[in-house]
Amino acid sequence: MELEIKELTKDNLDKIIALDQICFGGLWTKGAYEREIDSPRSLLLGIFQVDPSPLHQELIGMSCFWAIVEEAHITLLGIDPNYRGQGLGELLLSHLLLQAHQWSLERATLEVRASNTTAINLYQKLGFEIAGRRKDYYPLPPEDALILWRSRLQEPEFSQEMKNIQEKRCAALLTKGWDILQSS
């Protein structure tokens, strides 16, 4: 099995909408994703399972940030439930953060359900810290959001830290039968 991480395009819209439904229950519309893809201040990355014969790519994860002044506001990170627990979220998030670094953004922020300990642990593993709480941020079901921040994206050691995370994650995925293709 091969994996590839790359920027999502309008050619991927049907797959994006299908994965959004699986991961988020229909968080964004097709039009919203089109605007994300078209925006010069937004980056939408996908992780694909690639079957080389015949060539078929299945979108199994995606992430997005908005560049707001010097911040990467992470708006979504989702992995198909059939592929969770393998470190794909960590790999995808590290790629997203490296892109934020390459865009010269200084810090990253996001909101996460207070009960989503799996996601919180992942974010903290990549250097995010809890900065606050938004009361009743999520409507269905009603729940608070934790606000997380990751600063110092422009520090010299940041890009090496993300590359080390990617190397470790790729090595672990290789032992599970995944081959990571060069990301585009």
- Per the annotation, the verdict on 111 as an active-site residue is yes
Beta strands of the chain (E only): which ranges? Answer: 2-7, 42-52, 55-68, 71-79, 107-113, 129-138, 143-150, 179-180
CA of residue 168 relative to chain centroid, distance: 17
- Per the annotation, the verdict on 7 as an active-site residue is no
Contacts of 171 (CB under 8 A, 6+ apart): none
The encoded tokens of residue 5 equal 């991480």
User: Which of the residues 33, 123, 137, 138 is marked catalytic?
Assistant: 123
Identify whether the C-beta of residue 153 lies closer than 8 Å to the C-beta of residue 146. no
The encoded tokens of residue 136 equal 């009743």
Identify whether the C-beta of residue 127 lies closer than 8 Å to the C-beta of residue 156. no
Name the nearest CA neighbour of 7 among 40, 59, 49, 43.
43
Distance CA 83, CA 144 (A): 27
The residue with tokens 């091969």 is 2
DSSP 86: S
User: Which of the residues 36, 71, 90, 111 is marked catalytic?
Assistant: 111
- Active site members: 111, 123
